[in-house]
Amino acid sequence: MRPFSFKATNTFIISLILWYSASVPSVAQVTGKNVISNGSFEMGNVDFESAYSYSASSTPPGSYSVTASASSLNKDFKDPVGGDHTEGGYGLYFVANSNGLPSQNVWCSKIQVIPNSEYDFSVYFCNLYRLLPPKTNFAFENGDVKGNDPHIRVTIGEDVIAEEKDYFHLFKWLKASGTWYSGEHNGPVRICIENVNPNINGNDLALDDISLVYVKTMPEGYKPPLKITTNMHRDYTKPVVARKVPLSEYGIEKGNQDSLNKGTYAIRYKKVLPPEPVEEKDTQSVDTINRVILKNILFMQSKADLLPQAKKELDLIAEWMNRDTEVRVRFIGHTDNQGDPKLNILLSEQRVKNVKAYLVSKGVAADRIETVGYGGAFPITDNKTEDTRKPNRRVEMEILK
C-alpha cells in the first residue's frame, strides 16, 4: 500500500483553495448585487462626486443637493410625482440645477469591476422645471423650441451605455438602462452621468436608484456582440430622413382595408427588403416618415399579450394623444423569424391591434390610430439566438399628423 503523504495532501488542498478563490466572485461581484454603494442617496452626500458644487439649503445654477423635497430648494422646481423613487416618496434623491456649461458630469463614482463580465445598469431621472410653456405640438418635432428637456448620457470608462431624454415632462420618474461588458477592465472604473443639455433655463433634473449589477463572468475567449443602432431607439425627438418609398414596397396593399378594423391594412408578404433610405433636398414630393421604435413594448415569443412595462409606456402615449387631439399615428408590428412567415404576419397584426385597443380603452379615438403588421420581414438584429431575436419582436410608431 502506498504510504500517506501529508505534504502532498496539504499542497493539493492549498491549490484547491487558490483555484476556488480565483473562480468565485468577490463580495462586490455577487450576482444581483449593486456595486454602487449609495445609488439610492439614502446615505446623503457621500460616495460620489460631481462637476457641480454641493448646496444643502438651496440649489442655484451650477449646484446640486440631496433632498426629499426639491420644491423647498428652488422656486422653479416641482417635486416628482409621488416623491422620491426609492422609499415610497419619503426618501432622498439627487437634484441638479444646470449652469449652462456643456459636457458637465452631474454625478460620478468609482466602482470595482472584474474583467470579462456582464453588468446591468439602470438609473431613474425626472424633470423638475415647473415653468413649462404649453405643449401644443408636443416634443416629437425636430429641435424642441423650449430647449429644456433633461437629457442624460451614462458612461463607464469610455463606453456610452445609456442615453435618454425626458420628452414627456410629466414630472414622473423615467428609467434609463443598458448592459455593459467589462472586457479587460479590472479594478476601479469611473462611471458618470452627464447632463447633456446645458440650457440654463430649465434643464433641471433629479436622479435616484443608480444601479450597476453584476450578472455573470463570461467563458474564456468570449467576444461580445456588436452594438446595433436603429433609426430611433433613444427617444421620440430625433427625425428620420425623408424617404421616397411607395407603400407597396412595405408589403401594404394600399386601399385594401380590413372591413372589421378601420385603418388596418391587408398584407402581402414580401421577402425582399425595401430600399435603403436616401436623403433628398427637395422634400415637396417625398413622404417623410417619423418613425420610432417603442423599445419598452416587447413580446414573448409567439405571444401577443401586452406586458406590464408595455402598458406603462402606452399610458404615457395615451396621455400625450389625449392632450394633443390633432395627432394621428400608425403602429407597425414586427416578429422574429421563428415559425411560419404567414402566421408571423398575423401575430404582428394582433400585437398592434392589442396596442390600439389599449389606447382606445384610455380614451384615444380609434380613428386616430392605424395598425399594420410585417411579420419577420424587417429584422433590426440577427435571429441566431433568443437574446438577438427579442429586439425583432417590436412595435414601431409613425406619426402621421
- pLDDT tens-place string over residues 185-223: 999 999 999 988 777 766 788 999 999 999 999 998 888
What does the alpha-carbon distance between residue 264 and residue 291 come to, in Å, rounded to a whole number?
A: 17
Cβ atoms 135, 169 nearer than 8 A: yes
Cα-based distances in Å from 173 to 80, 85, 86, 170, 400: 7, 7, 11, 9, 28
Q: Which 8-state DSSP code applies to residue 151?
A: E
What does the alpha-carbon distance between residue 366 and residue 358 come to, in Å, rounded to a whole number?
A: 10
- At 128-176, the pLDDT tens digits run 887 754 443 333 333 333 446 778 999 999 899 888 887 666 788 888 8
Task: Confirm whether pTM is higher than 0.85.
Answer: no
Phi, psi for 19 (deg, rounded to 5) = -65, -45
Each of the 401 residues of the chain gets a pLDDT tens digit; together they read: 445 444 444 554 445 444 444 444 443 478 888 999 999 999 999 999 999 999 998 888 889 999 999 999 988 888 998 899 987 778 999 999 888 788 889 999 999 999 999 999 999 998 888 775 444 333 333 333 344 677 899 999 989 988 888 766 678 888 888 889 999 999 999 999 998 877 776 678 899 999 999 999 999 888 877 654 333 333 333 333 333 334 344 343 444 433 333 433 333 333 444 445 544 444 333 334 467 788 778 777 678 888 888 888 888 888 888 888 888 888 988 888 888 888 888 888 898 998 999 999 999 999 999 988 888 888 888 888 888 888 888 888 888 76
Cα-based distances in Å from 66 to 7, 161, 211: 58, 25, 17
Cell (9 digits) for 2: 502506498
Cβ atoms 335, 344 nearer than 8 A: yes
Cβ atoms 287, 393 nearer than 8 A: no
Cβ atoms 79, 104 nearer than 8 A: no
